[in-house]
A and B are shown apart, each in its own frame.
Chain A
């Protein structure tokens, strides 16, 4: 099947097998290996990307379902050579060790902050519940997300607001899994 997807600002038109998962399309066809696979049951969140601005587990989305959509991966969130505030906060707060969960964790956190720009500790913990980390014990991740929230308050920069494209497209929850 032929699909056209905009990934990290570049449009790609490709022939894909109907069963190919979005994560494999991103990794194998586009070389976007920043998004990784940690499980095969959409439980770990390592593969989290944004589909039309909302986080989804890209191992539970078929590439064909992304046809006509905008996908943002960990490789597309830094702007003008500057880290996204959430990336920066992960670094500043030592919110990663091996780093394998980190791209997914960062993508989920960006989505979380778009929904709730000032989450308390519990809200962060619940917001990243679908993303597993085996190294950090989460404490510094929680710290990082709250630190990023602080830096992203209105007036702190353009990343503070979610970029809505106005199409009203949102990944249906049946393919989302980005809880």
Chain B
């Protein structure tokens, strides 16, 4: 009997995780109640920068239901400093980051005291009885001001607001030429200044943590993306033995990088539970979340792009200011560095220099947010390509094509020193152009311009690549990242032939249970339904690097493949023994060991039962089919794609409508097309939201004025169009499945596509840029400023960034 099992990989399998989610039987951390559990509420600083002169908690302690009240002084000896795992330079300045402020507060929202009470309502009531006296300190909010000589300081002990300056120079690295010389020798040079506004990850499930200290074994449930790293960091920061800590990330309601953190609240809940010897729960409100969970992006980017008249790019210089906020969190300093490798994108650029200055301000810390560094870079280069095309008077797509790496040139080592393994930008672009009706829309655009239609049409392009699968450990090491990039997995054959796959990757909506089941079903030839995927618990998955940077599939799932291969290898001598043949005579396919050229066979599931009984195993064979494996790839993977966006811009009101959006992504081999499509949709929504809606805004005092969902505008269904998504498939050569990763692609590519489309619509009005988010007000103002400029000095001069001076020099 030959097996005709259809491969699972490539099928749109409906998700295993859905049942509990659609029926409301989900294991959110906040759903958990333990016997004797107490509730913790946090008092937060209303000031962005102040000295705490006194805190009086005596009255709060007498309030109904209150068990105890703690301040920073209570935990000063044990709380340590929240960890930063990425010292990007040897002389990086990193202030102490206490979970509970001790004598100063450095951002509005910083925790200053906590109440632990019988109920959440009682804990919040008692917060009001805490008296804190503050003495104002000067507030530093503006990065450009912060780096000037004599600026007020965020941390006076550091005597500077600069945390670190990090440089990559292609002439020093030997990956390209000297950029100043390249620029000096070029026929066309454009300089622009862009602002990456501050965003808030805004996962829908507020952060929640429960700590149970029973028996000196600390079990922490947390809505986190990183249970493994969190466990390690708690052990290292708080001096608690690692083997006494178990971290469980049950169902987690979204992360987007926002739950890639060791949070003050996790540490405080841990300390409170340890002090009181009882389980403690903390769940943040949405306002607390917006105020104090880390923010993302927030850069000022100065770019210089040089080219020949024929459009050939000759050099790229990037100078960044990156806002760290008040403290360095887990990977804050490294976020802009991830972008350093992506500013050159898919283009052949002969000379490149990147300088980044990480700056402290009195704002909530920034850290990873979907794409982390790569959206910022992609935005900047894709905007510059459009600006260069406008300057040269050529079609922006043609300009890109002239400069991009051609299909036959892969593998290709870029000016930033990365080797792109595979890609086919021609194929993705051709498909996208056709689906989009590029020529038809250009035609319509010309017509609308001709008849001075008040609603103008703009076409935005973003051809992008990203580095996925944050791994090769040695590369991360060379960037001083504090951990490796491998991932771990185990495959356990149970006696009845069912399979448990344990993964160190810890999902929060990505569908690992389904995708990993598909992959392992093919590897072992067992049914999809016979596989259970375990994750997010350091007791079952004792090793792991967790989920961020689109690494789950490209690194995590490959570890599972390796573990499955070991299971087959272990089963082989046992199957040979059972079938009384030589090992070399065995074939394994579709879950079956067959003696070559005969009908004689046994399944791997039968072998599992034989192993369990262990009555008759070959000599010296261990009675186990369980295996584990760790995978550390040789290279990143490089998904790419072409995104095309058509926007209609009402020149009278400034209103922008996304009329159509087409993207063709190449993410290599696809495990589950349905899940991939969903990830792309969600990513696009987040990227479009950066272009049009979202921004964290502070007033002059440093108070967050977008502290609720009424002010921080997430797009609703009515704000977005339906997207047309498609794929090309150029397998990655960096891993055995040929997968590339997709979690961040949509977000990375869509922001510049939308901004380019709006600017494209408005070029006849003398507009060269519109600052994000492109609210109707900003668009309207850009049109007015553009027209005034065009009337005065000619439409083609200068960058024009609304209120920002585009002619100013570098970031230094």
Contact = CB atoms under 8 A, between A and B. Distances in A.
A43 B508 CA distance: 22
Contacts of A154: none
B674 interface: yes
A83 B14 contact: no
Contacts of B31: 27, 33
Contacts of A46: 204
Name the interface size band of chain B.
35 or more
A100 B204 contact: yes
Nearest to B255: A98
A100 B253 contact: yes
Interface in A87-101: 87, 90-92, 94, 96-101
Question: In terms of DSSP, what is the predominant structure of the interface of chain B?
Answer: loop
Interface string B162-206: 000000000000000000000000000000000000000011111
B75 to A, nearest CB: 27
Contacts of B287: 40-41
B727 to A, nearest CB: 16
Interface hub of A75, A135, A138 (most chain B Cβ within 10 A): A135
A103 B24 CA distance: 6
B206, B511, B723 pick with most chain A CB within 10 angstroms: B206
A36 B717 contact: no
Contact of B681 (A27, A83, A98, A137): A137
Interface stretch (B15-23, B90-98, B214-222, B229-237): B15-23
Contact of A125 (B677, B710, B718): B718
Contact of B709 (A32, A44, A92): A44
Interface residues of A, number: 55
B718 A126 contact: yes
A83 B21 CA distance: 12
B30 to A, nearest CB: 7
Contacts of A98: 21, 203-205, 251-254, 508-509
Contact of A41 (B256, B681, B685, B710): B710
B657 interface: no
Contacts of A19: 121
Interface string A5-39: 00000000000010110000001000011111111
B203 A134 contact: yes
A44 B286 contact: yes
A99 B18 contact: yes
Interface string B89-119: 0000000000000000000000000000000
B682 A137 contact: yes
A78 B23 contact: yes
A74 interface: yes
Contacts of B202: 134
Nearest to A38: B204
A89 B204 CA distance: 22
B260 to A, nearest CB: 15
Contacts of A94: 14-15, 674-675, 677-678
A61 interface: no
Contacts of B681: 136-140
A132 B617 CA distance: 57
Given A34-B26, A87-B22, A128-B716, 8 more contacts: A34-B25, A41-B286, A46-B204, A97-B678, A99-B22, A125-B716, A126-B717, A136-B685
Contacts of B716: 125, 128-132, 138
A114 B672 CA distance: 33
Contact of A43 (B23, B203, B675, B708): B708
A133 interface: yes
Nearest to B26: A99
13 contacts: A33-B26, A34-B26, A36-B28, A38-B205, A40-B285, A87-B22, A90-B22, A97-B511, A99-B17, A100-B28, A103-B22, A132-B709, A137-B720
Contact of A97 (B286, B510, B710): B510
6 residue pairs, one from A and one from B, having the closest CB atoms = A34-B24, A99-B21, A100-B253, A98-B509, A137-B681, A137-B685
Interface of A: 17, 19-20, 27, 32-41, 43-44, 46, 73-75, 78, 83, 87, 90-92, 94, 96-103, 106, 121, 124-126, 128-142
Given A97-B678, A129-B717, A38 B21 contact: no
A92 B286 CA distance: 31
A87 B18 CA distance: 10
B103 to A, nearest CB: 30
B683 to A, nearest CB: 8
B684 interface: yes
Contacts of B20: 99
Interface in B706-741: 708-710, 714, 716-718, 720, 722-723
Interface in B676-699: 677-679, 681-686
A130 B715 CA distance: 10
Contacts of A141: 717
Contacts of B678: 94, 97, 135-137, 140
B21 A129 contact: no
A151 B285 CA distance: 38
Given A34-B23, A83-B22, A94-B675, A134 B714 contact: yes
Which among B253, B509, B683 has the highest number of chain A CB atoms within 10 Å?
B253
A130 B252 CA distance: 22
A12 B694 CA distance: 43
A143 to B, nearest CB: 9
A132 B685 contact: no
A96 B677 CA distance: 12
Nearest to B679: A97
A121 B720 CA distance: 11
A30 B25 CA distance: 14
Contacts of A124: 717
A128 B24 CA distance: 19
Nearest to B119: A28
A76 to B, nearest CB: 9
A158 B19 CA distance: 22
A97 B509 contact: yes
A111 to B, nearest CB: 15
Given A44-B204, A96-B18, A97-B509, A33 B28 contact: yes
A100 B24 CA distance: 9
B722 A40 contact: no
A45 B678 CA distance: 21
A96 B674 CA distance: 11
Nearest to A104: B204
Given A39-B286, A100-B205, A137 B684 contact: yes
Interface string B3-42: 0000000000011011111111110101100000000000
Interface string B491-513: 00000000000000000111100
B26 A38 contact: no
Contacts of A39: 286, 708-709
Nearest to B286: A39
A87 B682 contact: no
A164 to B, nearest CB: 24
Contacts of A41: 286-287, 708-710
